[in-house]
């Protein structure tokens, strides 16, 4: 992740775009509602987008010529809910494809599904789970952000394996190979992203009333 331009078959590109589109449309409605009810949150929304853009643009070389990077989507998922992050993530991925040649236009739907949909939902629900168990916000944010990062790469491996099953071991073999390529660098990156997200959340809670304004931090995915 990001899957580069032209790497997926056309049918897969169309399918992943069709799967992602309803999530992004729902996220757009949720984003408009937040902007209407909490106009003072515009800067925080922009900051969440910038956080995602910067982190997901940082590439770390992995094996066999691939690369890994953080995703940065856990912060916005916890603050605003995963539907909003589907929109923010889609915008980030589009700009990265156009300006940085990071990802692609034909593969945008697949990249949105893994980084802007699956990752944020995993981050959000794990955060909610940890909070419902009475555990600290910091621990919930850390686990959510780190797991969301890993979930993105697991989903990307699913997408790649579906497009390029191994000739001998089939889909499962291809999935395990793609996962093996990413795991060496992605696991430490996920831990680092979790820690960084906690630091940013602590800064927000100390210097602004953002968390209380959002009902902290329950998120609003509906």
Residue 205: the pLDDT is 74
Q: What is the mean pLDDT of residues 122-137?
A: 93
Rounded percentage of the chain residues whose pLDDT exceeds 70: 89
Q: Among 83-92, 172-181, 204-213, whose mean pLDDT is lowest?
A: 204-213
- For residue 217, pLDDT over 60 is answered with no
Residue 116: the pLDDT is 96
Residue 220: the pLDDT is 42
Q: Domains in the chain and their CATH numbers?
A: 10-206 (1.10.1760.20)
Which band of pLDDT confidence, cut at 50, 70 and 90, is reported for residue 215?
low
What is the chain's mean pLDDT, rounded?
87
For 73-110, the pLDDT digits (tens) are 999 999 999 999 999 999 999 999 998 888 889 999 99
Q: Among 61-65, 171-175, 197-201, whose mean pLDDT is lowest?
A: 61-65
Q: What is the mean pLDDT of residues 176-202?
A: 87
Which band of pLDDT confidence, cut at 50, 70 and 90, is reported for residue 133?
very high
Position with higher pLDDT, 20 vs 185 = 20
Residue 139: the pLDDT is 94
Which band of pLDDT confidence, cut at 50, 70 and 90, is reported for residue 198?
very high
CB 77 within 8 A of CB 144: yes
Q: Is the dihedral of CA 6, 8, 9, 14 positive or negative?
A: negative
Residue 24: the pLDDT is 97
pTM, two decimals, is 0.89
* Cα separation values, 204 from 36, 43, 94, 207, 209, Å: 21, 12, 27, 5, 8
Q: Position of tokens 């931090």? A: 217
């Amino acid at each position: 992740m990001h899957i580069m331009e032209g790497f997926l078959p056309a049918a897969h590109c169309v399918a992943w775009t069709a799967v992602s589109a309803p999530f992004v449309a729902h996220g757009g409605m949720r984003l408009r509602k937040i902007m209407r009810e909490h106009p003072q949150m515009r800067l925080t929304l922009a900051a969440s987008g910038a956080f995602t853009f910067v982190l997901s643009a940082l590439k770390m070389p992995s094996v066999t010529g691939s690369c890994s990077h953080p995703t940065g989507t856990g912060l916005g998922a916890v603050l605003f809910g995963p539907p909003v992050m589907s929109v923010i993530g889609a915008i980030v991925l589009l700009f990265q494809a156009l300006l940085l040649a990071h990802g692609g236009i034909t593969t945008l739907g697949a990249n949105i599904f893994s980084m802007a949909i699956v990752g944020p939902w995993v981050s959000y629900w794990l955060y909610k789970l940890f909070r419902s168990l009475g555990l600290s916000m910091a621990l919930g944010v850390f686990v959510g952000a780190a797991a969301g990062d890993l979930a993105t790469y697991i989903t990307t491996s699913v997408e790649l394996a579906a497009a390029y099953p191994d000739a001998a071991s089939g889909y499962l073999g291809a999935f395990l190979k793609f996962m093996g390529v990413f795991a060496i660098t992605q696991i430490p990156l996920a831990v680092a992203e979790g820690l960084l997200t906690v630091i940013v959340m602590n800064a927000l809670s100390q210097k602004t009333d953002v968390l209380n304004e959002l009902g902290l931090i329950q998120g609003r995915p509906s």
